[in-house]
Amino acid sequence: MEQCRKKEEEGWRKSHGIVIIGGGIGGLATALALHRKGLSSLVLERSETVRTDGVCIAVHANGWRALDQLGIGTELRETTNSIACNGCQIDGWKEKQEKSLNPYKTFKPIDTDSGSHGTLISTVGGIGQGGSAALEDAVVLARSISRALPGGVHAVTSDLELHKKISAAMGKYVRERRARVFTLSLEAFVTGALLTAKSLAKYLVLVPILVLLGSESRRHTNYDCGRL
């Protein structure tokens, strides 16, 4: 069984160069980013159909910058639906009230190409940066790999050399993303924990941490992951 698995993996590598496990936002964005850098890849997804679970994916200005690097930002701006929000904190967003019995309100984001960017922070918990952070990851990861493999996977003459180049690329990717992901994860955790805190002691511990992280609401949306 193990021998068959190794042969199958070797076949994937020779045919596609890079194999991506998971066809979610990060996987598909990474595949597209690699394609734009001239690197082929194979995306493996266990689901046979496109799932429509959940409500929506919020993409902030930093996410749109990543989408622009992927070459699909303009098209998505024309087709993206308005955001329906109930019980949200709105900062810098233009409100468009629909005349209906629906208690939800529809908001149109300010043009993310301008210097001023709107943010939508859910009061339910977290900071709504999951989708945007995944897009950033895709751009940075593909950039790191393409720089390590300027001639593509098949230009590398040996598996040992390929391993060294990929290891170096992954190391560079981790170093570049470590601080960014740590800050996002910590702030999301503290925000969610604070909103569900039921004891004064927990509240007194979490509030100083949130204060130390800073109160600038647009610091995440102002982030730029750079060019692909």
CA–CA separation, 18 and 44 (whole Å): 11
CA–CA separation, 86 and 16 (whole Å): 45
For residue 54, the model assigns a pLDDT of 65
For residue 103, the model assigns a pLDDT of 32
For residue 104, the model assigns a pLDDT of 32
Phi, psi (deg, nearest 5) at residue 95 = -90, 135
Nearest to 145 by CA among 124, 174, 120: 174
pLDDT of the chain, 228 residues: tens digit per residue: 667 666 666 665 566 678 999 998 999 999 999 999 999 999 999 988 877 676 677 888 899 999 999 999 999 888 876 554 444 433 333 333 333 333 333 333 333 333 333 323 332 336 888 899 999 999 999 999 999 999 988 888 888 999 999 999 999 999 999 999 998 988 888 888 888 888 999 989 998 988 888 766 678 889 999 999
DSSP letters for the chain: -HHHHHHHHHHHHHHHSEEEE--SHHHHHHHHHHHHTT--EEEE-S-SS----SS-----HHHHHHHHHHT-HHHHHHHPPPEEESSEEEES-EEE--SSS---EEEEPPPTTSS---EEEETTSS-S-HHHHHHHHHHHHHHHHHHH-TT-GGG---HHHHHHHHHHHHHHHHHHHHHHHHHHHHHHHHHHHHHT--SHHHHHHHHHHHHHH---TTTTTT------
- What pTM, to 2 d.p., does this model score? 0.74
Residue type at 86 in one-letter notation? N
In the chain, where the domains are located: 14-213
CA–CA separation, 114 and 67 (whole Å): 16
